[in-house]
Amino acid sequence: MRVSNESPLLLKIVSNQRPIGIFDSGFGGLTVARAVIDLLPEEDVVYFGDTARYPYGPQPLEQVREYAEQITNLLISKHDVKMVVIACNTAAAAALGSLGEALEIPVVGVIEPGAQAVIEVSRRKRIGVIGTVGTISSGAYQKTIEEIAGINAEVTCIPCPGFVEFVERGESSGEQIQILAQRLLAPIVEADVDALLLGCTHYPYLARTIGSTVGESVVLVSSADETAFAVAKILKETNLETSQRKLGNRTFISTGDVSWFAELGQRLFGPELESAESHEWSTGS
């Protein structure tokens, strides 16, 4: 509480005007940021892409948890965010629990919304999940889907190392990615799933390749929209919805090459991503 003589109403408005912080290892979380901004256009958003330290997927979960905590601290201390959205499955698998316990502001991950969405669209409850090595080996999806759907769902979880790197390089189609997709997704085709969850926020950018590999009858599910709905619900429940009636401010931060972040980011996200600010990690930052 900053000023003791402010009215409670004023305090509420001031605190609601704070931005939503969204982060990922790089460009992937832009799929979630897009859905949040489309659903809640008046909210201010700060997006943080840790491109200097991507990919998170092959790194130990302990390390990824440290990154997630560091970014969250920065979003809170420097940008005064009112909510943190972990728009990265690997970071959510590693740190949602610890951050949720430690923070006073709401923290939203992508795993539960994604699991919920894929269960809803799967008619035969033969579900596929693809993600990074870190996400799949954490068992987070297997556990969450079983908790929601019970043991009746048959779940095939497959890691797809290499997909993220294609997206970060700006390659979403072509022979190389097609060959990799055919090899990695063979167990999904084999398992005869009817719905496939893109359990990495980078993968929606590869949806055409993934879709053509697994076949048209398989419904592809991204966690972006469901996560945005979860964000809207929590803001409402916690009285943290913005009261401003103009388009929110958007700030994009990258720890890597900011001109590349702006160039590829604009292609992936849209014209609002005109430029990116730089953040360099140093000891204690």
Q: What is d(CA 118, CA 225) in angstroms, rounded to the nearest whole number?
A: 12
In angstroms, give the least distance from the CB of 249 to ligand DGL: 24
Segment near ligand DGL (CB under 6 A); pick from 6-14, 23-31, 258-266, 269-277: 23-31
Distances (CA, A) of 167 to 111, 173, 213: 20, 9, 17
201 forms part of the interface with ligand DGL (CB under 6 A) = yes
| Active-site position among 157, 188, 200, 240 | 200
Q: Is 72 in the site for ligand DGL (CB under 6 A)?
A: no
Phi, psi of 65 (to 5 degrees): -60, -40
Residue 28 and residue 163: Cα distance in Å, rounded? Answer: 11
CB of 19 to ligand DGL, least distance (A): 21
Helix (H) or strand (E) holding 220, with range, is: strand 219-222
Distance in angstroms between the alpha carbons of the first and the last residue of the chain: 25
- Known catalytic residue: 200? yes
**Rounded to the nearest 10 degrees, what angle do helices 224-237 and 30-39 cross at?**
50
| Interface with ligand DGL, residue 106, by CB under 6 A | no
Which amino acid would we find at residue 197? L
Instruction: Select from 100-108, 197-205, 210-218, 233-241 the region that touches ligand DGL (CB under 6 A).
Output: 197-205
The question of whether 157 is a catalytic residue gets the answer no
**Is the Cβ of residue 37 or residue 240 nearer to ligand DGL in the bound state?**
37
Q: How many CB atoms lie within 10 A of CB 269?
A: 19
85 binds ligand DGL (CB under 6 A): no
Does residue 25 interact with ligand DGL by CB under 6 A? yes
Q: Which stretch binds ligand DGL (CB under 6 A): 33-41, 54-62, 75-83, 179-187?
A: 54-62
User: Are 153 and 187 spatial neighbours (Cβ–Cβ below 8 Å)?
Assistant: no
Contact between 269 and ligand DGL by CB under 6 A: the answer reads: no
Nearer to ligand DGL, 65 or 202 (CB): 202
Q: Which of residues 145-164 bind ligand DGL (CB under 6 A)?
A: 164
Task: Name residues contacting ligand DGL, limited to 209-248 (CB under 6 A).
Answer: none
| Helix, strand, coil share (%) of the chain residues, nearest 5 | 50, 15, 35
What is the binding site for ligand DGL (CB under 6 A)? 24-25, 28, 54-57, 88-90, 132, 135, 164, 200-202
